[in-house]
Structure 1
Amino acid sequence: MKTLGVLIAFVALVAVEACAPETTTTMTRRRRSTNEDAEIVLRTKLKYSEEKKDDYLEHLEELMKAATNGEVEEIEEIKSTYSALNVNGDFGAKIQLHDIEQDECGKVINDVKSIVESLPEVVSTQVRCHGSTSNF
């Protein structure tokens, strides 16, 4: 379960970094325009348990805070939401990245795909961004 939490935190971190705004020459962040949410749904080999759901999400949030130390500005700019899912009896997680620009979708999809393809804990992944859906 700890490995899965680290995995999901890592996937979320990569997605957040892929969507981070570019810095300007004055090192200030440009404002993001309001856009659509990108949604990442991970299905794992673990069996879903309502009793473990809250502990799992709390652990995931702690891992994200630790993994993004020093990246607070990017995390605050790209708001995200995490929730546990029961995916046909298997434990899953949904990560929503809010206000993502359409031209960032390809990078989000490619980064998530390259990470989860090498992880045996993840059975399937779906990424939805601006009307486009990718399953792997």
Structure 2
Amino acid sequence: MISSVRFLIDADLPRSTKTLLEKFDHEAIDVRDIGLRSAKDPVIARYAKDHQACLLTGDFGFADVRNYPPETYDGIVVLGLPRDATAAFILQLIEEILRQTDVLARLPHKLAIVEAGRIRLRPA
């Protein structure tokens, strides 16, 4: 079984994401709880890097490997969300990832693009 993952939750995800991550015994830090609610992407990325956290976001800006090279992070997970995604849909997508412990084990230094029924891992 994989050890606990420390996740940094971006502000574009539901508040209940933290509860879901903790239910699966992972550490969860919400940017809204640490004064980074409206921080620019580079500030959020720096926090994730400095605190050895896997960034969990719906912002495809973080999928740009030129600006956010995965090998320098403890993982970047970008959720491909439809424009009209509900909180329930987003949480279900996150739960799909959390149930795939083999994927979680491979997250460090990788970019994961997650869509309904599909997870793509980009190596460093």
Greater strand content:
1
Determine which structure has more spread, i.e. the larger CA radius of gyration.
1
User: Greater relative contact order: 1 or 2 (C-alpha under 8 angstroms, separation 6 or more)?
Assistant: 1
Greater helix content:
1
Structure 2 length normalisation: TM-score? 0.27
Structure 1 length normalisation: TM-score? 0.25
